[in-house]
Structure 1
């Protein structure tokens, strides 16, 4: 009788769980939307902000300060969640993000705005990591595929809706509301997470101390790398003393960080997680995916506006074929993973499609139609759909539950660094190619700002210069995407070395007692 009652209570608990999980996921998706939407909205408002606050020479720092703070704080948030409990740390990151948003909206000069954006970025670093780690705590990897479409959908919504929302807010409410809009969304997320999310409280072991030295060295290394990729070829020449000094300093800081982590009692990034072959491979594939994706997001709208004459107002809609394809494929992959428990084939297919899509995009020229470029984008989007969520899922499945935060933050960090390198390297190739082509075709009058002309400015150019510029952009796009395709080949090759390890969780056909433990899964595929 007692056994029957226990079974009945267990069944009732399982019936209730999906509903509570969906409520928590809704709150997490709102937080994730905050982090992803912010830069998209603010980017549209930047011309208006500069017009009111001045400081055009410091414009790039409004974005750089946010990016630096986000990247540098990401691994620290992950470790703090592992040490002190996920919920409290995540709520703290939301509060810091909202404080930074409110202060940014009240900024009176460019210096204040840059400082407040850094505060905002500090909180944003904990938002993405918190979302991924909490999902890792709540939902077994085998079941997580059901919810992959939600995350892909939020990403697509941010990229498509960000520029549209940012332009509308700036035009009707003023640029300060580009920051204030975060407050009501953040308050809703805070309220929902506080009341609905229930996770076990963690007690820090006696004698365990925060690895401040490791955190400081890692922050210095990440900061130097991001500054190199942000400033190189734009603010400073690649061979300048500033860029070389930052590169050398970054390498030395990271080398010292690795040395310190091997001796720390509780390292900020435990190096033992990289003993797992799958975790290391997913980190590298995530880096390559970030490299490719953000390069595509940067250059595709530019090509369509400059060469195909599309309007910049609806720039987010230009990426619709890629984003929709990514979202649909991610949803299907998630369902198949949940039902079958198999995943190794997906990184391989994704890598192949990503290489193919980038190569096809590199073939675009001034005669390429919007329909054909949309097909090429859909191929690339499908490749990313196979990879975006699988990389995080397999990485989390490859570590013990106690390391879920650092695993999530490390994977996120690699993707962030990949995007920085992608934008820098592909951007440098693109700019140099455009300027060389403009000079060769006699468009010298536009060479100084040739990589920044929009459709409206282009229409005011003499016809010969305009045609020269369109050919130059097509040539620059070819070089950028060809390099992206070559980098994607490495990701495709790495996918073949992923080891198929059973995902934790029951799945539709598995028995609970066969689910295994986090430690079993991590050890099973360790090198």
Structure 2
């Protein structure tokens, strides 16, 4: 494909990526209004977010495996159709149970769009040229991340739209993406007899789901050390063991264990899980910091995180172009993970009174670190594995990144509740005020409805608590830095040939 043809096809992929990422960020500011209308409680608040992330994580490796067996373009269009149907049903939901069920289905569609976007790019462009185009993915991710909360806030505040349009708004973009992909994306389809590993798919989905349900509810619905924890962790590990045993015997394993014989794949998977904590944690806890420690509106909180988003977008695009020009990629992974650890450490010093100028520098370092890291871990893996396993390997990296982020954010969120309770109790004792009327650590208070003497005590507790959460997250980023140091850099291939031998199967036809 020529550069122009690649950009034309890329427009459809990026449009799909935009709506997929938007689906997870657009509800953040709208959820209080949505749950107020549907009479949902605190548990529903958690599950509307977690349900989509859980199904996205569990379905990612399945989409990746399917892309190695059938038409990538067709799968991308199927994922977009699933997203459209689930978004329509979510907008029509009459209670929280219906909404959560639709969010599960929406996560399946979004997981396919996110995973298949990278896979299609890998099929179109050889590794040496891929960096410049991967930068566009990082920029669109940043745009959807910062634009989601703003769009959601505007929709909720517009009387003639209402919260249901938070789900409807992505449908026109998805339809356009399907048409664009049909006209511009033409990839070879390798015809070969294959069997889908349904048992492996079921086991890995069950293992991941059980562990994510545990880490989401532990510390809230039951203690960390409890029979529920033992049952869920034990069950999750048992399913994971059965999955490994199944994959060793499967003719077409959903995640070939042979992939992890490549040192780069194994190390990149570990690093991706650790980086995932940064990707999802930074936006989640920074939003809470600006709203609960600084008293900003949800829309303003989104705008105040702009330094991090700009750092992510610019560094992702710049690194992509530099990688394409020079063919070297490890230096960006090393620098990115180091900056991520540094940014988290600096954010760990933040308190309610910290100047925004300093916070901007801390967020900028974090954003640059994320931009240099997330896309390039996928690139390193794609440059290592055989062409026939591009889809599986790419989705494996995305799978570990999302799983690490989901479980990390859940655990750090539980830590935040504990710390806020502790710091608020200390503040109340120091001010000689009773705890009556003070919000609990698991609650998200409305600062405008609290008694005036309590407001500075609550904002201080949340500022200190969120700073502590970033300090706890910093060692994970530092560990990612150490893991990346051991990845062996292989110059990017300038063609689609195998690293060792070319695959036996040859393209028989092309997508219509």
Equivalent position to 1:420, from 396, 406, 409: 406
Q: Give the Å deviation of 1:278.
A: 1.1
Q: Cα deviations across residues 193-234 of structure 1 (Å, max 9, x unaligned)?
A: 1111111122232xx321111111111111112112221222
The residue correspondences of 1:149-168 to structure 2 (distance < 5 A) are 149-168=135-154
Q: Give the Å deviation of 1:430.
A: 1.7
Say whether residues 1:176 and 2:164 are aligned partners.
yes
Q: Give the Å deviation of 1:49.
A: 2.2
Report the secondary structure of 2:29's partner residue.
Answer: helix
Does the 8 Å contact 1:31/1:94 carry over to 2?
yes
Q: Give the Å deviation of 1:487.
A: 1.2
Q: Give the Å deviation of 1:467.
A: 2.6
Q: Which position in structure 1 is the counterpart of 2:460?
A: 471
Say whether residues 1:518 and 2:504 are aligned partners.
no
Q: Give the Å deviation of 1:448.
A: 4.1
Equivalent position to 2:470, from 466, 481, 487: 481
Q: Which position in structure 2 is the counterpart of 1:508?
A: none
Higher relative contact order (CA 8 A, sep 6+): 2
Q: Which position in structure 1 is the counterpart of 2:488?
A: 499
With normalisation by structure 1, the TM-score equals 0.90
Equivalent position to 2:180, from 187, 192, 196: 192
Q: Distance in 2 between matches of 1:239 and 1:446?
A: 30
Q: Distance in 2 between matches of 1:90 and 1:266?
A: 21
Q: Which position in structure 2 is the counterpart of 1:278?
A: 264
Q: Which position in structure 1 is the counterpart of 2:9?
A: 24
With normalisation by structure 2, the TM-score equals 0.92
Q: 1:522 to 1:43 in 2, by over 3 A?
A: farther
Q: 1:59 to 1:321 in 2, by over 3 A?
A: closer
Stretches of structure 2 that go unaligned for 5 or more consecutive residues are 504-512
Q: 1:246 to 1:461 in 2, by over 3 A?
A: same
Equivalent position to 1:445, from 436, 440, 447: 436
Equivalent position to 1:213, from 185, 191, 199: 199
Does the 8 Å contact 1:398/1:521 carry over to 2?
no
Q: 1:333 to 1:364 in 2, by over 3 A?
A: same
Q: Give the Å deviation of 1:44.
A: 2.5
Tell me how large the CA RMSD over aligned residues is.
2.0
Name the structure with the higher helix share: 1
Q: Distance in 2 between matches of 1:450 and 1:325?
A: 32
Does the 8 Å contact 2:149/2:298 carry over to 1?
no
Report the secondary structure of 1:518's partner residue.
Answer: coil
Report the secondary structure of 1:310's partner residue.
Answer: coil
Equivalent position to 2:113, from 123, 127, 140: 127
Q: Which position in structure 2 is the counterpart of 1:377?
A: 363
Moved more, 441-450 or 491-500: 441-450
Q: Cα deviations across residues 348-407 of structure 1 (Å, max 9, x unaligned)?
A: 111211111111111122331011111111111111121021111111111111111111
Q: Give the Å deviation of 1:313.
A: 2.6
Q: Distance in 2 between matches of 1:521 and 1:392?
A: 21
The residue correspondences of 1:79-98 to structure 2 (distance < 5 A) are 79-98=65-84
Q: Cα deviations across residues 112-146 of structure 1 (Å, max 9, x unaligned)?
A: 22222222222112111110100110011111111
Moved more, 435-444 or 328-337: 435-444
Q: Give the Å deviation of 1:45.
A: 2.4
Q: 1:446 to 1:261 in 2, by over 3 A?
A: farther
Q: Cα deviations across residues 156-207 of structure 1 (Å, max 9, x unaligned)?
A: 11111111111222232012211111211111000011111111122232xx
Q: Which position in structure 2 is the counterpart of 1:144?
A: 130
Q: 1:446 to 1:356 in 2, by over 3 A?
A: farther
Say whether residues 1:38 and 2:23 are aligned partners.
yes
Report the secondary structure of 1:83's partner residue.
Answer: coil
Stretches of structure 1 that go unaligned for 5 or more consecutive residues are 1-13, 506-514
Q: Distance in 2 between matches of 1:266 and 1:148?
A: 29
Q: Which position in structure 2 is the counterpart of 1:297?
A: 283
Report the secondary structure of 2:436's partner residue.
Answer: helix
Q: Distance in 1 between matches of 2:207 and 2:260?
A: 19
Q: Give the Å deviation of 1:441.
A: 2.1
Q: Distance in 2 between matches of 1:516 and 1:53?
A: 51
The residue correspondences of 1:297-446 to structure 2 (distance < 5 A) are 297-442=283-428, 444-445=435-436
Report the secondary structure of 1:204's partner residue.
Answer: coil
